[in-house]
Structure formats: C-alpha cells, structure tokens
Structure 1
Amino acid sequence: MSFKDLPLNKPLLRAVAESGYTEPTLIQQRCIPHIIEKKDVVASAQTGTGKTAAFALPILQLLFDKQDAPKRGKKIRALVVSPTRELAVQINENFKTYAKHTNLRSTVIFGGTSIEPQIDVLKKGVDILIATPGRLLDLHKQDYVNLDYIETLVLDEADLMLDMGFIDDVKKIERLCPEDRQTLLFSATIPYKVEQLANSILKEPIRVDVTPSKSVATAINQVLYYVPKRNKMELCLHLLRNTVKGNILIFRRTKFGVDKLEKTLQKNGYKVDSIHGDKNQSDRQTALNKFKNGYVKILIATDVAARGIDINELDSVINFDMPNVPDTYVHRIGRTGRAGNVGTAYSLCSADEKSYVKTIQESINIQIPVEENHPYPLDPKAKPIVHKKKGSKYKKGRKGEGSKKKKKRWY
C-alpha cells in the first residue's frame, strides 16, 4: 500500500513525499480512512510507529476546506492534548511539516515557560492547537482559548496522561468541547483506567490495535532489506563482512538453496556448515555440535531441518528467503534473543516476496524497520520476475495436411 491509496489530497501527499515517506505504517493504514470518515477511534500503538501522522494527516484533510479564513477569523477546530512538553512540540513539528502546502496554521502551548508569546500567536488565530492540559486550562480561563468550534479532539499518550495525574484535567477539557465533535484516543497500552475513559467520552469508537503480538519477543531487533533476487548472495556477503557478527543461523527455503549458499560462503573463507532434509541424523548432529562449540560460526538450514533445534547462544538470524507463512517467520527469529540476550533478525526481501512481508507484518502487528543504506537497493517499482512455461511452438488443435484433405492413409 502507498500513501496514494489513502483518501488524502495532493498538497498533503506532496508534503508526505517530500518528508521521504512512501508507504504508510500499519497504524496509518488502519486509522486514516476511519478518521476521515469522522468516526471516533481508540488506537493502541507504541511510540515510533508513526501514530502522529495517523491523526495529523486526516485532521489536515478534514480541515482543508476551511483553510482560507482570514488569520484573525481562524477558529481552533482541532485540539491535540499531550501529556508532556516534548511530545507536544514534536506533534506541532509534524503538523507544520504536513501542512506546508496548505494555509492551515498550528501552534503549541505548554507550561513552564513564558505565557505572553503563546497568547500573541493565539490572538492571531490558529486552526490546530497542540497543548499540555495545565497550560490549556489556564489560557482557557483567561479567555485566550475558545474551544466552542472544536471538530476533532485528540488525546495522545492517554495512559501516560493518566499516570501523570491528568485525569480530571482531561475530563474538564473534554466537557469544554462541543458534544458533536469527533474524539480520537491514542495510547501505548489500554489499561482499565484508559478503557474507562474511552467508554465515557467516545461514541461507538473503531478500535485499532497495532501493539506487537505476544508471539514476537521484544529482545529481537528486526531489520528488512529490499534487494533484487539476483543480488541476494552479494548482499548476504556484504552483511557478513560489515554488519552481522557472532553466531549466525541463516534460513533458506530449499535444500538446493542451502547447498548453494554453503559453497559460496566456503569459497569466501567462512567457516560454515548446514542441515537439511537430505542429510542423515548423525550428519545433522555433527553440524549442530560444530556450531554450538564455536568451530563454525555460520549454520545454514531449511525450516523443516531446523525444527526442534535448541541453540541459546545465537546472536543473529538471517532470512535469506522470506517465509510465506507468518508463524514460520516468528519461529525463525525466535531462535535469537533468548535467555536475556538481545538478538537481531535480518530479512532479505526480493520483489516477489513483498506480499509475504505484508502478511507477516499484519500478523505480528509490527512494522519491520527497512534499511535502505546498502549497495544493492531494490527499485520500488520492480515487479516480480515471472517465469512463463514455454509450450509447443505449434498452434493448438493443428491438423496435419493429410487429415485436412481427408486422404485415406496407408495405415
């Protein structure tokens, strides 16, 4: 999916493209269409999943038609409440980045700093206000903030807001906003208190959950490399030389693939062994013992052969071929990051494996970080290579000359 598949207008898409983003993250894919339809949303997502854009872009889209009010005539139509000053500043920077090709204005207000400059900006008129709860109520009391025209209210990091004791302030702010507004609640976790808050202030909310599923250990760093199929071997060698260290388990889909990779790595001076279905049990055990005892640093395996292997001291897993089943991916990478150690899973994905990655990400609820800085990048427009079977060179249903003339044959 690309941002162009989302119901966003050209000025916003242009700003997104200029920021260097091409594909929306899971939370963006799931939230943006619902928010544009003016539905209430409760979303649970960790920081770093792109959730600010998940509410900033649709809010800018919804306000786009009202952007040309004269500056002093601008009313605050969207309010984002954030628990800390740092988060509030960051959210405002995001809004400014995405709104640069529009006339929509945003500002941020927070405590612990001079109130006068904030009042000056508010007097000039803004469309979107990002605020911490205390300073917002303070300025509202002084009549510098009017919340009568709020169309969308966002409560960001709701669990942190409640932990910091802002529950009463949040409820007060919510009561000051119009009843027919849209409310969006974002939280890293949804404990009972957040659930209660959501039930009391949201109307039939859509629930979006992109917290990592329990099946993936948090002690595993995941990295994704997009690479043309023909360059996978070179990229693998490049990673082994420069990036991947320690004990490494490499997965390939076929026995033929395992043998081919093993020979290539041996030629390049690596101590390597392999296990797959064509090897008998004693050969497999020997290979495994060599690996466990540190005689070889790299073990190459197929999924079937790797079942039941118990290796605790594993630093890295490389998915040379992407699995087409999400559970297989979880099993593979779950072999690292055990017993309190942190491990890394590197995945090499060619054009024809992109659909596997999409299924895996949806299943484990994690957007796998992509590493673009490598020597063999895949063209984003590259299509999977399709090998067509060559049929007969003769046309189907061809009749011989003899049968056409209905000659009697000699046999």
Structure 2
Amino acid sequence: MTFIQLGLNQQLQDNLTALEYEKPTPVQEKAIPLILQGRDVMAGAQTGTGKTGAFALPIIEQLVKAPRADKAVRALVLTPTRELAQQVKKSFKRYSKGTDLFIELAYGGVSLNPQIDALKNGCDVLVATPGRLLDLLFKGTFDLDALQFLVFDEADRMLDMGFIVDIKRILKRVPDSRQTMLFSATFDDAIIDLSKRLLNKPELIEVAQRNATASQIEQIVYNVDEDKKRELTSFMIGSKNWQQVLIFVRTRQGADVLAKEMCKDGVKTAAIHGDKSQGARDKVLEEFKSGKTRALVATDVAARGLDIAQLNYVINYELPYIAEDYIHRIGRTGRAGNAGHAVSLMSIDEEWLLEEIEAIIGDKLPQAWYPGYEPDLTKTSSVKKNSKSAQKRRTRERASGKRQSGSNKHRNRSGGRRR
C-alpha cells in the first residue's frame, strides 16, 4: 500500500516524500480511507506508530477542498498535555506545507491574550488542551458552530488527568453533524464508555493486540533494592555509554531529587514535570534533544507528547501505580519501527505492580539480577511478611490521592482547568 493508493492529493504526497515517508504505517493504512469516507473512527495504537498522520492527513485532504468561513474553526484536535499539543501542531504544519491552511495552537501555562489575538479570525485546524480551549470559548474568542472534525488524541490520558468534565462542556458546544475520531493507546471500560458519548457508529481499528507493547522494544526487569536504584541507574548509563535516556518516576519531588543526585554521579541530568514553567520545560527538553543533557527524569504527565527522534532507552526507575502507564512510558522508545530498550527497576515491594502490568499486556516480562547489584535476600523475607492485599490497598490509596490532588491542583491554578 502507498500514500497514492490511499487517495491523498499531490501536494500531500510531495510533502510526505520530502519527509522521507515511503509508505503508510498500519494504523494510517486502515484509518485514512475510513476518515476520507466520513466515518467516525475509534483507533487503538501505541505511541510512535504514526497515529498523528492517521488523522492529520485525511483531515488536511478534506480541508483544502473547501474555503474557510470567517472566524470559523473547522477542525479541533484535543490533547491532554501542552507538549503533545505542540507536537501535533508541528505535524500538521509539516503535512500541510504548500497549502493555505491556518494551523493554530492553544494551551495553558502561557498568556491567554496572544492566543486570543491569533484566533480572533478563526483557523482551519486548532490543536488545544481542554482547559485552555474552554477559557477561550468562555471569552467568546470564537465558536465551534462550523466544526467539521473533532479528534481526541490520547483519550485514555485525558481521562486519567480528570478532563471528563471539560470534555462534556466542550461537547455541548460542537455540532452533532461533526466527524469524530478517538485515538488511544489503551482501551478500558472508561474509554469504551467515552466512545459511546462521542462517536456515531464508529469503525474500530486495532493494529496490535489490545493494550500490547510495541514488539520492537526489548524489555527487562532488574530486581534491585530500593536504595541501590540510583547507583545502578547511573552505572548503566555510564558503563554502557547510553545517550538520551528517559527515566520515569512517580512524583515531581522524586524527579528533582533523582536528577540532582545523578548529576553528582557525573551523569548530566535534568528533570521535567508540571511544577516547572512552560519556558523551563521547553529549555530542558531542547537541551535533552540536542545532547547537552544526557538523561531526563520525568513524571508520567510531563512525558506525554514528548517526541524525541531515535530515543533508544527508557528506564522505569519506579514502576507506575497505573498499569496502563507502563505502555505509555516505554512507548517513548521504539518509535516508527526503530528498536528500543526499556529497563525497569523493581524493588521487592513493587512486585504486585509488575503483576498488574503483566496482566494488562498479557505477557510475562523477563526478570534478572544485575551483576554487582543483586538484591539483599535477607531483606526479602521480612518485606514479604506484609500482607500483599494490605500493600495494594495502601499503595492504591496513595495513587488515588495523588491523582485527585494533582487534578485539583491543575484546576485551582487555572480557575477550573489548565494543561
């Protein structure tokens, strides 16, 4: 299958050739014809499989055929984070080069007024986070009465971040006649319920086993004592000469502490999380992409939307409380068919988290001891005396409280919403 066979116009084909896209990915091959036919689509695909092109290309194809009315927004793409919004806009700009389409961006964390000025006459495509979109709508900057296309990108993450109320408010402002597309790396009951509200007789697209991890990612779990994790992380990066390593932790404070300690180990490391300003986050990311920073410690929310070419290594310094987050984390590597390596460091009290991850992905992950960092077995027996169910309950309570407080924090900072 080629892009020509998918029915894209010559300008789009030329742009794809210039970008060295030789043939569509599986999700593009399945989604593009359906979207061009006007069908609603519910697609499951891991990060890095070309899902942005799967909805951007057919939307552009249809938008160039008709002029835009004054102050109209014709296509709206909702993303959970600022970083992902920036990446999606960049993709739309590259794909639509040579056309007269206007692509605009709206997200929180920066001044509202420049975005109001940019959008006062509408645009062809608006990529936005839910909170900032509502801020602009409440101010009467534009309306969505002429909206033709509505896309929910990484819908599972939007639900995790507590955006369901904002989504309901947005749905009240869009026409029923729109064409809707929902893309998600994972499917659970919440996503299925959301799809019933959003979509009209959708076509279901799954390019891999549901909730599966990318096959080209080599995964390994090292059993290690909690107090040896940092030392092992720095040792692996240094001894193996790894460059551009993305490290996941659960909390913002944990990200800052780990980055500081790894710098002391001689590994130039920075942290990225929601407490940093947008300017600081952009600077940290640019230094990481350029190679000035060797390792980047990130929380799950901050890492969404990061698109780093040739990122080969992801380290789960702490296993995630939410099993689906494992899929999102390691999906940062092994993108676009490239090989990737995902290393998880598991202490004895995280074993149940690994069990839940394996249940989600439907596979057992290989485990090993890293030479020189074998766990202290005298500690193991005492730790395992704790009831497994009690450990789950305490950890889930912490995770639930963290997610709830995090959601409230985002809302309090922005008068109701902000990402």
Q: What's the TM-score once normalised by structure 2's chain length?
A: 0.51
Alignment of 1:311-350 (within 5 A): 339-340=366-367
Indicate the SS of the match to 1:83.
Answer: coil
Q: Which residue of 2 aligns with 1:92?
A: 89
Alignment of 1:166-315 (within 5 A): 166-212=163-209, 220-221=217-218
CA distance in 2, matches of 1:6, 1:165: 36
CA distance in 2, matches of 1:123, 1:116: 10
CA distance in 1, matches of 2:146, 2:212: 44
CA distance in 1, matches of 2:91, 2:216: 29
Q: Which residue of 2 aligns with 1:132?
A: 129
Indicate the SS of the match to 2:46.
Answer: coil
Q: What residue identity is the alignment partner of 2:158?
A: M
Instruction: State whether residues 219 and 340 of structure 1, in contact with CA within 8 Å, keep that contact through their aligned partners in structure 2.
Output: no
Q: What residue identity is the alignment partner of 2:56?
A: A
Equivalent in 159, 163, 168 of residue 162 of structure 1? 159
Structure 1 unmatched runs, 5+:
223-336, 343-411
Q: What residue identity is the alignment partner of 2:24?
A: P
Indicate the SS of the match to 1:66.
Answer: coil
Structure 2 unmatched runs, 5+:
220-363, 370-419
**Residue 24 (structure 1) shift:** 0.5
1:79 aligns with 2:76: yes
Indicate the SS of the match to 1:3.
Answer: coil
CA distance in 2, matches of 1:214, 1:117: 39
Q: Which residue of 1 aligns with 2:2?
A: 2
Instruction: State whether residues 71 and 120 of structure 2, in contact with CA within 8 Å, keep that contact through their aligned partners in structure 1.
Output: no
Instruction: State whether residues 186 and 211 of structure 2, in contact with CA within 8 Å, keep that contact through their aligned partners in structure 1.
Output: no
Instruction: State whether residues 72 and 142 of structure 2, in contact with CA within 8 Å, keep that contact through their aligned partners in structure 1.
Output: no
Q: What residue identity is the alignment partner of 2:140?
A: D
Equivalent in 114, 118, 128 of residue 115 of structure 2? 118
**Residue 210 (structure 1) shift:** 1.7
**Residue 212 (structure 1) shift:** 4.3
CA distance in 1, matches of 2:92, 2:366: 42
1:26 aligns with 2:53: no
CA distance in 2, matches of 1:6, 1:128: 22
CA distance in 2, matches of 1:340, 1:131: 41
Q: What per-residue deviation string (whole Å, max 9, x for no partner) do you get for residues 171-209 of structure 1? A: 211221001111100001111001001012211000001
**Residue 87 (structure 1) shift:** 0.3
Q: Which residue of 2 aligns with 1:41?
A: 41
Indicate the SS of the match to 1:162.
Answer: helix
CA distance in 1, matches of 2:122, 2:176: 23
> CA 1:115 to 1:27, structure 2 compared with 1: closer, same or farther past 3 Å?
same
Instruction: State whether residues 85 and 127 of structure 2, in contact with CA within 8 Å, keep that contact through their aligned partners in structure 1.
Output: yes
Q: Please provide the CA RMSD for this pair.
A: 2.3
Larger RCO: 1 or 2 (CA < 8 Å, sep 6+): 2
**Residue 220 (structure 1) shift:** 4.8
Q: What residue identity is the alignment partner of 2:367?
A: G
> CA 1:341 to 1:45, structure 2 compared with 1: closer, same or farther past 3 Å?
farther
Q: What per-residue deviation string (whole Å, max 9, x for no partner) do you get for residues 338-373 of structure 1? A: 73369xxxxxxxxxxxxxxxxxxxxxxxxxxxxxxx
> CA 1:214 to 1:205, structure 2 compared with 1: closer, same or farther past 3 Å?
closer
> CA 1:216 to 1:189, structure 2 compared with 1: closer, same or farther past 3 Å?
closer
Tell me which moved more, 3-12 or 86-95. Answer: 3-12
Instruction: State whether residues 148 and 179 of structure 2, in contact with CA within 8 Å, keep that contact through their aligned partners in structure 1.
Output: yes
Which has the greater radius of gyration? Answer: 1
Q: Which residue of 2 aligns with 1:50?
A: 50
Indicate the SS of the match to 2:23.
Answer: coil
Instruction: State whether residues 187 and 210 of structure 2, in contact with CA within 8 Å, keep that contact through their aligned partners in structure 1.
Output: no
Q: What per-residue deviation string (whole Å, max 9, x for no partner) do you get for residues 279-318 of structure 1? A: xxxxxxxxxxxxxxxxxxxxxxxxxxxxxxxxxxxxxxxx
Instruction: State whether residues 46 and 188 of structure 1, in contact with CA within 8 Å, keep that contact through their aligned partners in structure 2.
Output: yes
Indicate the SS of the match to 1:108.
Answer: strand
Q: What residue identity is the alignment partner of 1:24?
A: P
CA distance in 2, matches of 1:29, 1:118: 35
Q: Which residue of 2 aligns with 1:227?
A: none
**Residue 219 (structure 1) shift:** 8.0
Indicate the SS of the match to 2:127.
Answer: strand
**Residue 62 (structure 1) shift:** 1.1
Equivalent in 145, 149, 162 of residue 152 of structure 1? 149
**Residue 143 (structure 1) shift:** 0.4
1:13 aligns with 2:10: no
Question: After the TM superposition, which segments of 4 or more aligned residues of structure 1 sit over 2 Å from their partners?
Answer: 211-222, 337-342
Q: What per-residue deviation string (whole Å, max 9, x for no partner) do you get for residues 126-182 of structure 1? A: 111010000000100000131000011001101000000001111211221001111
**Residue 114 (structure 1) shift:** 0.7
CA distance in 2, matches of 1:64, 1:171: 30
Q: Which residue of 2 aligns with 1:61?
A: 61
